[in-house]
Every structure is written in C-alpha cells, then in structure tokens.
Structure 1
Amino acid sequence: MQEPDSHSVDEHARGGPRPSAAEFLRANHDALLEDWQQAVLEHLGDKVPASPPWLIDHLPELLTTLADAMELGPEALDERLEAAHAAARLDAGFNLGEVAREYALLRRCILHRLEAQERMLRPGDLTRLEETLDRVVTRTMTYFWEMKQRILQTLDRMAEATLDDPDMETLLERLLTRLMESALAVNTAAVMLLEGDALVVRAAVGLGTDEVKGLRVPVGRGVTGQAALERRPFFVRSAATDPRVLFEPLRRAGLRALYGLPLMDGERLLGMAYMGSRTAFAFADADVLLFHAVAERASAHIAQAELHAREHEARQEAERSLALLDSLLEAAPVGIAFLDQDLRYLRINGTLARLNSNPVEAHRGRPLREMVRTHSADSIERSLRQVLETGQPVQDVLLEGPDPVLGREGVWRADYFPVRTPDGVLLGVGSTVVDITDHKRAEAALQQAIDFREELIAVLGHDLRNPLHAVNASAFMLGKAPDLDSPARRSVDRIRKATARMTRMINDILDFARSRLGGGIPVTRQRVNMVELCQGVLDELQVVYPERPLTLEVHGDDLWGNWDPDRVTQVLGNLVVNALQHARNDTPVLTTLTSEVMDVVMRVSNEGDPIPEELLPHLFDPFKGSRLPQQGPRHRSLGLGLYIVSEIVQVHQGSVRVETAPDQGTTFTVRWPRVPPPKGYLPP
C-alpha cells in the first residue's frame, strides 16, 4: 500500500497530476463519512429519529477496503465485511431497498465530492471505482437476500413445529433442532428458563443433551448467569478451557465457540439461550443472526405459554370461586343477590328467588322491576340507587308484605352494600334479605309478657300496702301491751321485721314499676343534712334488728346538700339490709360518711364472704335474685333492692360501685353530688 507524499499533495492542490481513486478515497475518508451522514438525514427528512437508524458500523472500513481494492485489485475486498454488513442491516430490520439506498447515497457522495474539488481521477479509475462499488453492492445484497431467505425458511419450519400444540419443552427442543439443521457449525443448543433466582436448563439438543437438562446456574454466576444479570449476549471462544463455563458436560465435550443471549419479554427476563460448536472458534454472522431469530421466536412462545398458564389458572380459580359462591348462595338461609349498575340481576340464590316468585335462572340479566312486583319494589329500588350514588351501604331496611313461600304476612330486614373490585371500582350493589317474621312475633309476645308482668307488679304492690299497714300497726299496738311474755314479744318482733321487709319490697316494686312504666323514679330535692338522714334510718333499722350492731362514722364537718331525703334514706336502707343479709351473724354493719368538696361519699361495709366474680356484672340488674336459687331460701328475694339503689343514685347524677375481696368483706360506695352537675356530666 503506497501513500502520496507531501510533494504530490501540493501538486494536487495546485492542479497538478490527477489523483488515483485510492488516493482520493484515503484523502477524503472523513469528509465522505460526514457527507454520507448528511445525505442520510436529508433523505429521511421529517422522519429523523432520535438516533439514526442507518449505522456507520462498517462504512469506515468499507471505504478503506475500496481504496485497497483500487490499488491491489478486487481480491483485496473482504467478503466477511460485506457479509457482516448485510447481517447487521438484517438484524437492524432493514429491507433490501434500504440497503441498496445507503450504497446509492455513498456513490452520490463520492461523485459530489469529486465535482466539488473540480478534479478528475486518473483515466479509468472512475470506471474501476464504479465496478468495484457494484461488486460490493451486489455481494452485500446477495448475502442479505440469502440470509433473509434462510431465516424465513427456518421460521417457516419453526411454525410447522407448533402446529400440533406441543408442550413448552417439546416446542423449545423442536426450535433448537431447526437451528442445528440450518446452522451446520452448531453442535449443541439449549434454553434455560428463569426460575426464582436461578437459570434451569429446560430444553437441549445436540452434545450433552441428557447431562445438562435440569442443571441450574444462579443468576450472577458464571458467564451465563452474569449475562442474564446484565441482560446482554455473551461469547466464549473456547468453552472447554474457559473457567467461566460452569457446565461440566460442555467442557468435557470439547466445545470451542459458545454464544448466548437473554430471552426477553419486553423488559422482563425469561431466561437464556446458548449454542455451541466443537469445530469453530467463532460463529458466522449468518449463524448468529439465525440464532437471534430462533431466540426471539422462543421468547415469544415462552411468554405466550406463561400467559396461557396464568389464564388457565385464573380461569380455574374463577370457576372454583364461582362454584363455592353458588354453593354458599344456595346453602344460605338468607336471601342474597348481586346486581349491576343498571340494577340487573347478576346472581341470586334460591331463597331470594322464591320470595320474588321466579326461578333463579329467570333473574339473570333481568332488571329489578321485572322480578320484584310487590309494593316494596319502590323502596328497594330507592335503597339500591342510594348505594350506587353514594357508595355507602344502606342497612336495616324493613320490608313487609305477603310471603309467597309460607302463604302469610311476613317481615324482612334488608341490607344493601356496594360491590367493588380490589382497586375500588364500583361494579354494582349486593343485597341480603333476612326473614325476621318469627323474630318480630316472638319479640312482640315477649314485650307483651313483660308489660303484663310489670303492670301486675305495680297493681299488686299498690294493693298490698293497705293491708300491710294494718298488720304493722297491729303489731306495734301489741308490742305496747305490758303483760306480754317473752315468747309473745318475740313473735311480735318477728311480725314487725317481716312487715318492715315487706314494706321495703313493695316500695321497691312500686319504684321499679315507675322506672319502667312511668318514665323514671321521681325525686324532690331539698337542702338536707346527710348525717341526720342516715342516723334516722339506722335508728329505725336498729329497732328491727336489735341483735346486730349498726354503726355510723362521720368524717368532715360539712355534710349538707340538695337531695331527696326519702330517696337517700331508701338507698341507705336497701344497702344496710343487703349487708345484714350477707354478713356473718355476729359482725357489725358499718356506715361511713365522708365530706368532700363536691360530693358526700357514703360507704356501707360488712364482713363476710366476697361476692362471686360472675355476679358482679349483673349486681344492679332487676330480678337477679330469682336467677340465683343456689343461694338458698335465706337470700331469696325479688332482686330489686340494688337496682333501685342504682336508679336513685343515677337520678341524683351520682355513682355507685362495689368492692369485694376475701378477708376484707364487701363495701358499697355511693357518691352524692351536693348540687346537680351540669347537663352532660358523666359521674366518675
């Protein structure tokens, strides 16, 4: 290869001897490349992409080769360069016309550059340059066409391999077999699928087929794992000696060239494919291009197979879910239905369908108005549309009307709720309908029984007071007689105790009746002294229970407040009598009054067994005594005393609580506010 010396260049610049084609190409190498790029951009016009689609990868070397061929003859042209150029353009998606066009633009750039310099080449050089360019274009386009036809034929054979719808591993092995049949240098090929964090060989043909199937390579390890991690192709010149090749069967087979590339579904890695040769240290561009086509087709089939598998699994899951839903709907004693946004039935169970007097099948796809023809249709539709408009449930809607199933008047409770997808899109509305006819009837019967009992108690309590007063007065008169002996006097004392107890019970009954039937226990507040009230109650009870010590302790000076004196004495009387009933016979009952800034605190304490823990939550409930027969006849009562205590204390905006423990006895604590607290105040 000879280069023009500086003297020759100066002569050219001064219009000296004509340059040869080789000299012209070498001297204008970079300028021709720039001209060619500009010509490409002008050809594309408004369709210029962000990065030019016509790569310059082989053009600089092509210009150099043309210059050499002009000096040394056509034998200097490198056919491998032309084949590589054709393979690159085919892999980039060029068609035959685009390949021809880029050579035509190069020819035009050379001629324009000659015209711009106003120089002529040596005689015959321009013709030889045209002939050499024609030879390059012809061979490049021939290579391009042959490779494209080879790929198309291989793809056609691949398409035939899918006609009987084989499983994925069989299909992949067929594709690899078509590759080996088309590329004679390929002795082995395999597809590795990504499973978790490792690549697993799922299909293989050629050398070491049985040995490599099922082998795993962690992503990031070895040449294959690293290429998968980086999402790039890899090439190994001697697989038998390269330590990065982790598959021992490939090394033992004496492989030389090993080429692999990732299988992608968009940005998602599916796996890796590789091909190997025992005869070649490098694959021809045509074989690499063919392998890319096979890998692309394999990626499409793998992605499609995964999609079909997911669709099949989703379909099976949907069918299982629908079967479970249908079973649940049919087994549920509650009426259940789902409607779309146009209030057309999507699903309904037999319970609700029978109430609509239509079979289940008749409801599907039909509007609510056609299926529900009772007078409740307007109410139901209003509730359903409210759910659709607001997206909030509508609950506890009562529906009344004839029951077509049982042939009677019925009552139902309906609840309506929105039905949404997991991401919140409103699909429609669901409804549940519960037959509460028997419940309503039982509720009415129970309420009637309760009302009758409470009215009867009130009547009995009121009518018993007069004869009881007579008995008590007679006992009092008998007790004044001076000639009574001891047995007679004890009998009179028992009569007085019994009548006192009966009086308290009747008072409790009447107060209970007032609280349940008359709107609450009435109170009349006045300014009174708590000590005087309590001392009077204890003195009266001491007469009735002379054998039991009843003690009063006072802490503080100011024990005045605005209370109902009759109700305060009633509370203390009930608490002391309750303490006497549950204390040991020989122990006292202690009443303590403590003055505080806002309240007066009353405590009634007795010694004895603690109250069982299971009774504490219901201690202030009415009629609890009738539920505790295990306590024996001594403690049997109506169970109203503590209930009345609680009601009276609440009316005074106070509080009552109990403390009980072994070896400490039981203490009831009542807080009496001196003045009524403001409205809305909650006692501690």
Structure 2
Amino acid sequence: MQGPDSHSVDEHARGGPRPSAAEFLRANHDVLLAEWQQEVMKHLGGKAPAHPPWLIDHLPELLSTLADAMEAGPEALDERLEAAHAAARMDAGFNLGEVAQEYALLRRCILHRLETQEQQLRPGDLTRLEETLDRVVTRTMTFFWDMKQRTLQTLDRMSEATLDDPDMETLLERLLTRLMETALTVDTAAVMMLEGDALVVRAAVGLGTDEVKGLRVQVGQGVSGQAALERRPFFVRSAATDPRVLLGPLRRAGLRALYGLPLMNGEQLLGMAYMGSRTAFAFSDSDVLLFHAIAERASAHIAQVELHEREHAARREAERSLAQLDSLLESAPVGIAFLDLELRHLRINSTMARLNSKSVEMHLGRTVREMVREDLQASVERPMRQVLETGQPLRDVLIQGPDPVRGRPGFWRVDYFPVRTPDGVLLGVGNTVVDVSDFKHAEAALQQAIDFREELIAVLGHDLRNPLHAVNASAFMLGNVPDLDTGARRSVDRIRKATARMTRMINDILDFARSRLGGGIPVTRQRVNMLELCQGVLDELQVVYPERPLTLEVHGGDLWGEWDPDRVTQVLGNLVVNALQHARNDSPVVTQLTGEPMDVVMRVCNEGDPIPPEVLPHLFDPFKQSRPQQDPGNKQRSLGLGLYIVGELVQAHQGTVRVETGDGDGTTFTIRWPRVPPPRGDLPP
C-alpha cells in the first residue's frame, strides 16, 4: 500500500539522504498497519482469535505519537493513549504476556520494513526509536499491572462483602461502596433494577442516596432508559445540564460526568448501573474498567439471586403441592395409590393401606403381588398391566372377595388411570378404590324389600279385591229389594259409592306399583269403538252418582282404533271422578269425542274454580292433590294417584294429555288417542 510519501521513500532506497525515524513512520504508516495485522494472523496460525489481538483501535495513534516523540522528544508521548490501550486490553480479557506480544510484533514489523527497503535511518534515530518503543511498552505494562492489581484488590474486597450472605440490596450497596473507595473521582453510584417496563433504583451510595432510591425511569426514556433499550453503555459530560438525565437528584447534585452500562445475564437485561462525578467531566479508563468489573460482579450476583429465588419458589411450590397431595390422600374417603412401571408402590394413603391390611410404610417400594392377598392378586394386577400397555384408563372395575375385617363378602369399585409427565411420558399407573360393600348389601336388602312389596301388592290385588267385590255385589242385591225404605236405600248407595272408590284406589295402587317397579303399565291393544267404551263408563258412574248429570257429546268422525279397552275406561273414569270432585254440585260433567284422521280426541269438561297456577306443574305427580283443599271441613280424601295413572296410561298408548283452565271457562282435560301406535322414532317426548 502506497502512502503520500512513497516517492521520497523510493529515492532513499536508491541511495538518497537517510530519512529520519519520524519520516519513516509517517511514510510507512499504512504499510506498517497492514504488515502488523498479517504478522498477528501468522502468529495465530491463520485462525481467528477468541478476542481481537491487534491494536487496530490504538495503533494508528501510537504510530503517530511515536513519530512526534522522535522529533519533539519523549515528552510528546501521550500517557492517556497507553492507559486507554491497557484498559481496553484488560477489559477484553488479555493477560500481560499477550499485551507484550502485540508490541513485540509491532517492533518486528518496523525492523522488517527497514530491512526490506534496505534503508538506514539517520544516525542515532534507530536507537532512539528502540528506546521510545521500550518506554511505551514499559508504561503500558505498568498501567496494565497497576490496573490489574487495583481490580484484583477491589474484587477481593467485593468478595469479602458477600461472606455474610447479605440480601441483594445490601450487597449491591457494598459493591458500589468499594467502587467509590477505589475510584476517588466517583461521588455517586447506583443500580437500577428492571421491573416490568421500568428501571427502579434499588441500591445507591454517595450523593442523593436517600432521594434517588425508589425512583423509576421507563425503558426507552431518558439517557438510561434508552441505553437499557439498546443494551449499550452511555456517557454524559454534564449531568446537571443534560435534559436526558431524568433523575432530578442527579441534576440537583451538580454532577458532571455520568457513566452507565447495562447489567446483563447473557441476552437478558437485568437493569442498569451508573456512576457520577461532581469534579470530573470524564472518568479515567481505569475507573471505567473497574466499574465494568463491579457491574459484571453485580450482574452475576443478581442473576444468582434470581435463580435462587426461582429455585426456592419452585421448591416451595413443590413442597406445597406435595403437602396438598398428602393431605388429599389422607383425607380422601377412598383408597388411592400410585405405582411405577414395575407395579411398585410409590405413594399410598392410609385408606388403601387398611384395605390391604398393611401399613403405609410396608407398601412403599413393594409390588402389588407382595401387598395384595393371594386370592385378589390376579384381579388387581391384570387391569394395571392393561393400563400400562394401552395407556388408557379403566373405570368401574368391580372386585369381589372376602372382607377379613368385617367377616363378610366384600365389594370394591376400582378406577385405574395412567400417570404421565406434562410432556406425556408414562411414569406408572394410579388407582382409586371405593369400598362399596355397604352399598351392595343395602342393594340386596332393597331387593328383598322390593320382593316383599310385590308380594304385598299381590295380596292387595287379589285378597282384598275379592271380598270387596262380594260387598259390592251384596249392596247391588240389596238395592234391588223393592220394599226398602228411604234410609236403607241411602245406606246401600253409600256402600256402593264407597266400594267403587275403594276399587279405583286399589286399581291405582296396583298400576302405580307396576309403573314404578315393573317397567311400566302393561297395555293390551285390540280394535274397539271409543264411543262404546265411554258410554259404558258413564253409565256405570251415573249409577254411582245419580244426582250428577254426566253428558256424552259426539262431534263426528271415525271413533274406531287400537286401544286397551280396560285402560281407556280407567282413564275416563279417573277424569270424570276428578271432575265430579271439583265441579260445582249442580253443574254437569261433559265428555266429548271427536274423530280426526290420526287420533281420537277425548275431552272431559267441568264448570268450577280454575286450577291454581302453582299446582299445574305438579298436576300429574303421584300422591299430589290436584287442587288444595279449600274447605277444611271437607272430609273427602284421595291418594293423589288418579291423574298420575291417567298420564301413565296415555303415555303407554303414545298419546298426549293437556289441561286448560281459567276463570269462567272451567277446566278441560284433552287427550289425544292415536288410532294405531306410531313408530318408535316418532314417539312424543
């Protein structure tokens, strides 16, 4: 590479006047830089270094300074350049030997360049150049060593600050205090922690300590917030007058130099640290280097504290979760156990342990075969292995065997489920066991009660109805005696009404028992005429209630269909009797029949008070009165099964029943009887 004085260099090479050392350095400035870098790479074997080993940031100034010193004397050397170079190399992690090697390579490049050009410097210049280089190297080494010792001493004192394991804010303040004790130009220093999207001053020493603690600066605002956003250091020459300094106490303290840098844990921003001086407009390189070392130590401690806090929080959460799990296991009324892939017990509660007649401690680490009775081993182990093989839970597995504790047959309902990590890795199998022996024995007792009830219903249906029919037949014969007086005939009528009501009550009770216990009321269909059925029912009821008008109205249409005649007459009888009970004493009960294409519609109407709204939703419930008793003196009682049986019988025919009631309109029950049963998919809900 040719510099501005390359022509004069060629003249010297041809035997012209000898150049001075200053002229040589200036003329070969760029060439020496290039050759020095080549020598460095050759020294490193052509491999890129872990940290930059060349003096590219300081070498141009160093060469210029050397040239000036050769003309003006050693006083022209700038010590600040050497100190800056030493600080930069220490900050980059160089050791003393590496710094010396850089200068040795520079010396070699200068001598090599002189030999290549076959030049000789003016008498005495080469010696003075060597001496000047030695002075630069010596002072750089001295600066480097002094800064190294100063930093090591400060780090030792920083290590002492951590011996008693202080909290984070105390330790940070101790580290900042060590900085102020070592760097005399530093008058204040602080650490700002990143909390959410703001930097908060958590530790401070020096000027404005009490005022600045707790102050916040949003990330991206002011000089510190912007530096945090960009992850870079910042420097302010006059903090008292710079509007980018947002912390008021720093401006009021009259600070000049203000330097800050981000606290990083890898790529994670932890906060910012700054130091300020009221006397200096700039900090020395050694002070900056020391501040970097302290910041690195603070960052490491902050990261370590956060890591410990997360570990402690995770440990506390794990302990809390385990405590909750243990509490749940012990308080659960069911047996619970967790087993590994080899079916060894990992955790088990006392309920499960009692079921196995062994302690909790005896189960831990033992297999199912070792803990479960021999007669139950296969039935317990088989579903567990199935869960491990398929990864699918098994529910409601019933295990039966002798219960040695209670001395009777035992029944246990077991659920098995796979136990996995959050990422799906199968760890083992868990199971819950519920002792259902009491339920099974209660179920057996209930079945016995049901059997007894069915026997009782059979007695009621057969043994009671037969004498009741005899009473009714005797009353009918007495009623036909021609010479009965009025009082005797009235007594016979009361007997006939009472036996009729008892017959309906017995029929309702039998049908209720069948609907609840036998799977529904049986229906035997045959082709019948609805008009004939209804006329027969009304004729029978008219004999029992001769003083009440019972009217049948036919509104046309085909009245034939497939129904159970006994059930149709039972429905109409219950509706008419219900209407007689709630209608006015002198009002008729009207039954209407209408033939439609698919159905025959039956309506039973009476005049009387409307059904209360609160009664309507429960009108067809069993053992419910269709209306509240308005007259306390009314002695008439009912089981409340009549309308329930009506609803059940209509539903058995796949029909519908509807009630309409209102003031002035009375009450109407409307039943739609399908002529033929609809397909199963078309049944009404």
1:281 alignment partner, SS class: coil
1:339 alignment partner, SS class: strand
Contact 2:557–2:596 (8 Å) recurs in 1: no
Using the TM superposition, name which of 522-531 and 82-91 deviates more: 522-531
1:24-103 correspondence runs (5 A): 25-26=25-26, 29-30=29-30, 33=33, 48=48, 56-103=56-103
Go from structure 1 to structure 2 and tell me whether the alpha carbon gap of 1:23 and 1:667 turns closer, same or farther (over 3 Å shift): farther
Q: Does 1:273 align with 2:298?
A: no
Deviations 1:281-338 (A, max 9, x none): 1111111111111111112212222332333344344444444444444344433333
Go from structure 1 to structure 2 and tell me whether the alpha carbon gap of 1:71 and 1:457 turns closer, same or farther (over 3 Å shift): same
Match of 2:609 in 1: 608
2:375 alignment partner, SS class: coil
Go from structure 1 to structure 2 and tell me whether the alpha carbon gap of 1:204 and 1:439 turns closer, same or farther (over 3 Å shift): same
> C-alpha displacement at 1:162, in angstroms?
1.2
> C-alpha displacement at 1:260, in angstroms?
1.7
Match of 1:307 in 2: 307
Match of 2:399 in 1: 399
Match of 2:368 in 1: 368
2:432 alignment partner, SS class: strand
Match of 1:232 in 2: 232
> C-alpha displacement at 1:371, in angstroms?
2.5
2:94 alignment partner, SS class: coil
How many Å separate the matches in 2 of 1:332 and 1:82?
77
1:317-396 correspondence runs (5 A): 317-396=317-396
Go from structure 1 to structure 2 and tell me whether the alpha carbon gap of 1:506 and 1:129 turns closer, same or farther (over 3 Å shift): same
Question: Which letter maps to 1:653?
Answer: Q
How many Å separate the matches in 1 of 2:307 and 2:481?
109
Contact 1:399–1:412 (8 Å) recurs in 2: yes
Go from structure 1 to structure 2 and tell me whether the alpha carbon gap of 1:665 and 1:373 turns closer, same or farther (over 3 Å shift): farther
Deviations 1:497-542 (A, max 9, x none): 3333333334334444555666644333344444444344334333
Contact 1:355–1:404 (8 Å) recurs in 2: no
Question: Which letter maps to 2:265?
Answer: D
Could you say what the CA RMSD is over the residues aligned between the two structures, in angstroms? 4.1
Contact 2:12–2:119 (8 Å) recurs in 1: no
Contact 2:5–2:27 (8 Å) recurs in 1: no
Deviations 1:370-395 (A, max 9, x none): 32235333333333344445554433
Contact 1:18–1:119 (8 Å) recurs in 2: no
How many Å separate the matches in 2 of 1:262 and 1:635?
95
How many Å separate the matches in 1 of 2:259 and 2:145?
24
Deviations 1:387-421 (A, max 9, x none): 44555443333333344544544333333444556
Match of 1:169 in 2: 169
Question: Which letter maps to 1:153?
Answer: Q
Q: Does 1:572 align with 2:572?
A: yes
Go from structure 1 to structure 2 and tell me whether the alpha carbon gap of 1:82 and 1:5 turns closer, same or farther (over 3 Å shift): closer
Question: Which letter maps to 2:684?
Answer: P
Match of 1:676 in 2: 677
1:593-672 correspondence runs (5 A): 593=593, 598-606=598-606, 607-608=608-609, 610=611, 613=614, 616=617, 619-621=620-622, 636-656=637-657, 667-672=668-673
> C-alpha displacement at 1:434, in angstroms?
2.9
Match of 1:259 in 2: 259
1:427-576 correspondence runs (5 A): 427-512=427-512, 514-515=514-515, 520-552=520-552, 557-576=557-576
> C-alpha displacement at 1:235, in angstroms?
1.7
Go from structure 1 to structure 2 and tell me whether the alpha carbon gap of 1:436 and 1:86 turns closer, same or farther (over 3 Å shift): same
How many Å separate the matches in 1 of 2:240 and 2:545?
113
How many Å separate the matches in 2 of 1:565 and 1:528?
7
Q: Report the TM-score, using the length of structure 2 for normalisation.
A: 0.84
Deviations 1:652-682 (A, max 9, x none): 3334455667877655444433333223444
Q: Does 1:199 align with 2:203?
A: no
Go from structure 1 to structure 2 and tell me whether the alpha carbon gap of 1:345 and 1:293 turns closer, same or farther (over 3 Å shift): same
Match of 1:120 in 2: 119
Question: Which letter maps to 2:119?
Answer: M
Go from structure 1 to structure 2 and tell me whether the alpha carbon gap of 1:511 and 1:214 turns closer, same or farther (over 3 Å shift): closer
> C-alpha displacement at 1:114, in angstroms?
6.7
Using the TM superposition, name which of 658-667 and 208-217 deviates more: 658-667
Contact 1:348–1:360 (8 Å) recurs in 2: yes
Question: Which letter maps to 1:502?
Answer: M
How many Å separate the matches in 1 of 2:576 and 2:109?
122
Go from structure 1 to structure 2 and tell me whether the alpha carbon gap of 1:296 and 1:594 turns closer, same or farther (over 3 Å shift): farther
Go from structure 1 to structure 2 and tell me whether the alpha carbon gap of 1:522 and 1:11 turns closer, same or farther (over 3 Å shift): same
> C-alpha displacement at 1:461, in angstroms?
0.7
Contact 2:51–2:92 (8 Å) recurs in 1: no
Match of 2:286 in 1: 286
How many Å separate the matches in 2 of 1:614 and 1:423?
58
How many Å separate the matches in 1 of 2:636 and 2:49?
100
> C-alpha displacement at 1:80, in angstroms?
1.8
Aligned residues: 679
Go from structure 1 to structure 2 and tell me whether the alpha carbon gap of 1:572 and 1:95 turns closer, same or farther (over 3 Å shift): farther
How many Å separate the matches in 2 of 1:278 and 1:560?
115
Using the TM superposition, name which of 442-451 and 220-229 deviates more: 220-229
Go from structure 1 to structure 2 and tell me whether the alpha carbon gap of 1:467 and 1:5 turns closer, same or farther (over 3 Å shift): closer
Using the TM superposition, name which of 171-180 and 368-377 deviates more: 368-377
Contact 1:21–1:129 (8 Å) recurs in 2: yes
Match of 2:157 in 1: 157
2:163 alignment partner, SS class: coil
How many Å separate the matches in 2 of 1:42 and 1:654?
105
Go from structure 1 to structure 2 and tell me whether the alpha carbon gap of 1:182 and 1:463 turns closer, same or farther (over 3 Å shift): same
Question: Which letter maps to 1:431?
Answer: N
> C-alpha displacement at 1:280, in angstroms?
1.4
> C-alpha displacement at 1:173, in angstroms?
1.9
Where does structure 1 lack aligned partners over 5 or more consecutive residues? none
Go from structure 1 to structure 2 and tell me whether the alpha carbon gap of 1:440 and 1:31 turns closer, same or farther (over 3 Å shift): same
Contact 1:655–1:670 (8 Å) recurs in 2: yes
Question: Which letter maps to 1:296?
Answer: E
Contact 2:96–2:141 (8 Å) recurs in 1: yes
2:680 alignment partner, SS class: coil
Contact 1:4–1:23 (8 Å) recurs in 2: no
Contact 1:223–1:244 (8 Å) recurs in 2: yes
> C-alpha displacement at 1:253, in angstroms?
3.5
How many Å separate the matches in 1 of 2:365 and 2:233?
55
Q: Report the TM-score, using the length of structure 1 for normalisation.
A: 0.84
How many Å separate the matches in 1 of 2:108 and 2:602?
117
Go from structure 1 to structure 2 and tell me whether the alpha carbon gap of 1:417 and 1:656 turns closer, same or farther (over 3 Å shift): farther
Identity over aligned pairs, percent = 82
Question: Which letter maps to 2:399?
Answer: L
Deviations 1:331-376 (A, max 9, x none): 4443333334443333333332222222233333333333223533
Contact 1:462–1:510 (8 Å) recurs in 2: no
Deviations 1:60-100 (A, max 9, x none): 43344344445444443332223222322322333444444
Go from structure 1 to structure 2 and tell me whether the alpha carbon gap of 1:297 and 1:677 turns closer, same or farther (over 3 Å shift): same
Using the TM superposition, name which of 653-662 and 525-534 deviates more: 653-662
Go from structure 1 to structure 2 and tell me whether the alpha carbon gap of 1:274 and 1:6 turns closer, same or farther (over 3 Å shift): closer
Question: Which letter maps to 1:78?
Answer: D
How many Å separate the matches in 2 of 1:47 and 1:577?
112
How many Å separate the matches in 2 of 1:276 and 1:481?
131
